[in-house]
Amino acid sequence: MSYLRYLSLVSIVLFLTSSQSVFADGGKISAVYFGDYYYIAAHHNDELKSRNGFWTRRVYLTYDRKLNETFSSRVRFEVNSPDGLAGTGGKNIPYVKDAYLKISPKGSSHSIYLGRSITPTFSVVPKLWGYRAVEKSMLLMQKYGSTRDLGVAVKGKVPGVDMLSYHAMVGNGAGTSAETDKYKRGYLSATLKPSQAVVVQGYVDFEAREPGMNRMTLMGFLGYQMDNYRAGVQFGNQIRGQGEGVDDVSIQGVSVFGAAAVKPDKIWVFGRVDKMLSVNPGAPKIAYTPMSADAKSNTIIAGLDYRPVKNVHIIPNVLMSFYDSPEVGEKPGSDLMARVTLYYKF
């Protein structure tokens, strides 16, 4: 089956690149790649110590087309290496990341998205963090939700308040997977830009599940960005139902990050600190960087971004997690991973 999927993907690429009429109507193909060489110098799981290798963490192949002044569309495929640290093997299998029709009425500041599109959860913070190739932003890394959902979304500016925009969505809540129940997830974010440099965002979502298992996420973000430096602070809280008659669990965390140019367009440095204020039971499932679920984690990410040519980044970086003393049991050992990340796009 995987060979058939690859053949289908190759056929699509060949069709798009050979069809002049498609591009005459505004069609565009773009691609993104990032992957690493990694070495695990220390880990709370002894079996992962000294593990090293190469992996492809993300490949995007995107086709955008403007149909007319009102309608446009996007189809994006994604492929990545299975997470070998979790014992997952197999081949890289592409899947559909985005597939939506965008409706932007002429003269309106509002747009409707029908299909699979980005969720309001991750529409602002990852862009200002700017180093998704190194690591996901905190909420995504800690598995508060997915970057995509299948449903209906609306984005635009609040009438009469140009500095205030919104993004609302109703979706399956299953990310890029198939819907398996009758429940849905509603999302809403409001973003305030009082100046070109400052951005403030508030976010809430509610995911209906089986009785007693509902989830609600709250997030606040403050960011500052200029040409040669940027910084941000994010707070997230997800309230997870544990079943009828059982107390809910609150998963809270704070992330502070910054980046600055040493030599604009050539060399940047960056750093980030994530402090989990609660134990995250899903931490061992964090892709490529599994963490302990036995204690609250503290994560430090730092690196240097070298750009030899436009849109090519070579990024040596380190990711370290150490843990608070748990209420019960032994304190987990620290995690330390060194990586050289390659990121490029066209």
DSSP codes joined into one string, 97-113: EEEEEEE--TT-SEEEE
For residue 20, pLDDT over 70 is answered with no
- Convert the pLDDT of each residue in 28-72 to its tens digit: 999 999 999 999 999 999 999 999 999 999 999 999 999 999 999
Do the beta carbons of residue 216 and residue 252 sit within 8 Å? no
For residue 329, pLDDT over 50 is answered with yes
- Between CA 145 and CA 219, with CA 341 as vertex, the angle to 5 degrees is 25
- CA 272/CA 257 separation, integer angstroms: 4
pTM of the model: 0.89
136: tokens are 């996901």
* HEC secondary structure over 231-276: EEEEEEEEEECCCCCCCCEEEEEEEEEEEEEEECCCEEEEEEEEEE
What contacts 331, CB < 8 A, 6 or more positions away? 295, 323, 324, 325
Do the beta carbons of residue 209 and residue 186 sit within 8 Å? no
Do the beta carbons of residue 165 and residue 191 sit within 8 Å? yes
End-to-end Cα distance, the chain? 29
- Convert the pLDDT of each residue in 67-86 to its tens digit: 999 999 999 999 999 888 87
- CA 209/CA 213 separation, integer angstroms: 5
- Convert the pLDDT of each residue in 216-260 to its tens digit: 999 999 999 999 999 999 999 999 998 888 888 999 999 999 999
Cα-to-chain-centroid distance, residue 146: 7
